[in-house]
């Protein structure tokens, strides 16, 4: 008997003395972890939504609305708030439904599909937040600048004439500033949801290996 066969024989003899964990027990542990993670994703989305509402309500005093009215963007701002709230509530509903589906899952393959679906939903939500922030920021910046130009009278208008290079510099600074702002927001969401998504991915890998075994 060579050394390798001797090692296999010793390993099998030791394996019999170790506590055995069944397939169902491993699956239940992964299922419970996944269910808890998705529940926390739903809870965090609620807290984020409430924080946003409270922040907007806190800023929305009479002076705030008067300033928006002077800039002629009060109605647009109200519509933007309303649309954003509706879309956010939709994603919260999706998170809740993902939690319910995972909580009632009865097979490893089904759980794997639910994990993939949940990860896609969260990534879509983060992408929506970044895109909406970019659109709103650029739109408000344009409207404020347009209002300022339309309502500002100057004696020498030649001082306010910009050539192509000036516009290129201005556009570049705006894009860089917006990129830094969105980068900070993205980093915040990676801390907020990214850790949970990594744990879900780990659970998916474990289920994949379990199913292969």
Domain boundaries, the chain: 23-151+160-212
* Distance, CA of 149 to CA of 146 (rounded, Å): 5
Mean pLDDT of 112-141: 91
Looking at residue 157, what DSSP letter applies? G
Structure tokens at 83: 């649309």
Neighbours of 29 (CB within 10 A): 13
pLDDT of residue 156: 47
Mean pLDDT of 63-90: 84
Burial category of 133 from C-beta neighbours within 10 Å (exposed 0-12, middle 13-18, buried 19 and up): middle
Range among 24-28, 128-132, 151-155, 165-169 rated most confident: 128-132
Range among 70-74, 96-100, 150-154 rated most confident: 96-100
Mean pLDDT of 9-24: 54
pLDDT of residue 7: 46
pTM equals 0.78
181 vs 12: which has the higher pLDDT: 181
């Amino acid at each position: 008997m060579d050394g390798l066969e001797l090692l296999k024989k010793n390993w099998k003899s030791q394996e019999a003395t170790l506590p055995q964990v069944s397939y169902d027990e491993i699956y239940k542990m992964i299922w419970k972890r996944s269910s808890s993670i998705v529940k926390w994703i739903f809870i965090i989305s609620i807290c984020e939504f409430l924080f946003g509402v409270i922040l907007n309500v806190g800023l929305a005093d009479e002076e705030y609305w008067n300033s928006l009215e002077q800039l002629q963007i009060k109605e647009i701002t109200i519509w933007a708030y309303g649309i954003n709230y509706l879309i956010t509530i939709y994603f919260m509903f999706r998170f809740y439904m993902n939690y319910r589906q995972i909580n009632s899952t009865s097979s490893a393959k089904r759980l794997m599909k639910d994990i993939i679906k949940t990860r896609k939903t969260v990534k879509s939500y983060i992408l929506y937040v970044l895109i909406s922030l970019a659109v709103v920021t650029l739109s408000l910046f344009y409207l404020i600048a347009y209002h300022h130009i339309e309502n500002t009278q100057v004696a020498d208008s030649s001082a306010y004439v910009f050539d192509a290079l000036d516009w290129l510099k201005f556009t570049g600074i705006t894009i860089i500033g917006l990129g830094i702002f969105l980068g900070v927001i993205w980093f915040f969401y990676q801390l907020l949801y990214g850790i949970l998504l990594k744990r879900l991915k780990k659970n998916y890998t474990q289920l994949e290996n379990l199913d292969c075994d």
